[in-house]
Structure 1
């Protein structure tokens, strides 16, 4: 593997790891910690402030992953065309990346609604109380599920990336090329 390909692979993998890990830490750590804030009117604002600080890093990670992914596709276009299983894995990864992008955007949209709610009573970052404003409560309920989608989907992409790494072993390349013949 050339230095250029190593850089491309690293961008792709590190970007994905940050995207996945950040979403998981946010759902467990940030939202979980916000649930413990003593004043129930500060729980939503606390989580929103943390997610706002994370958003630029997350965007950079997604960009790194995307640039690296495009670079890998270009660098491996011969294997994509010739080796059995590589194109299918790449197509599934691309589709799941679209799902992860959509879930990230959806969570950002709903998170903005929570942030714009200002100070309101809530049981937790994504758990409304009986007195949480209706629009904010709806966004929180949707985020309660959505917060798990991005880390779950990006974790699957990590596994598919590992499978692609295995497909690059010389024995796998030969087997994949022979099975296409």
Structure 2
């Protein structure tokens, strides 16, 4: 593995880990802690403020992941195109990345909309209460789904990446391993 490949793999892995971990921490910690505030009118602004602080880091993480993933795909294109199963996992990763990007972007739109709802009483960042205006409650319900979809999708990317790497290793490594094992047999003849 070259220094360039190591740099690309690092961008990919750190970016994806941050995207996954940040979205999961946000759903659990930021949104959860906001729901614990005693003033129901401060819960939504508190959650939105936390997410606003995370957004620039999340954008950087996603860009790092995309740069690393694209670079690795281009560097490994012969193996992706030529080895059985490797291309299929690459296509699945690209598709899942697209869906994760879409849901992440949509979550951002919903978050900005919720950020404009100042002084609205809510039970939590994604939990309306009976006094929450219907449009805000609808946005919260959509956000409640998205907050779990992003870590599920990015977690799926982590799993697909592991599958993809194992397929590459098996397809590349098995012939080499078999050749090494066969060498002592040929020497004995």
Q: TM-score, normalised by structure 2?
A: 0.89
Alignment of 1:12-31 (within 5 A): 12-31=12-31
- For these two proteins, the number of residue pairs brought into alignment is 175
Q: Which stretches of structure 1, 4 residues or longer, exceed 3 Å deviation after superposition?
A: none
Map of 2:83 onto structure 1: 83
Per-residue CA shift, 1:9-40, capped at 9, x if unaligned? 11011100100000000001110000100101
Deviations 1:83-130 (A, max 9, x none): 111110000000000010011011111111110001110011110111
Correspondence for 1:38: 38
| In structure 1, C-alpha distance between the alignment counterparts of 2:137 and 2:21, rounded to whole Å | 26
Deviation at 1:164, TM superposition (A): 1.9
> Cα RMSD between the aligned structures?
1.2
| 2: CA distance, partners of 1:126 / 1:151 | 16
In the alignment, the residues of structure 1 paired with residue 11 and residue 173 of structure 2 have an alpha-carbon distance, to the nearest angstrom, of 27
Q: What are the ranges of 5 or more consecutive residues in structure 1 without an aligned counterpart?
A: 177-181
**TM-score where L is the length of structure 1:** 0.93
CA distance in 1, matches of 2:49, 2:141: 18
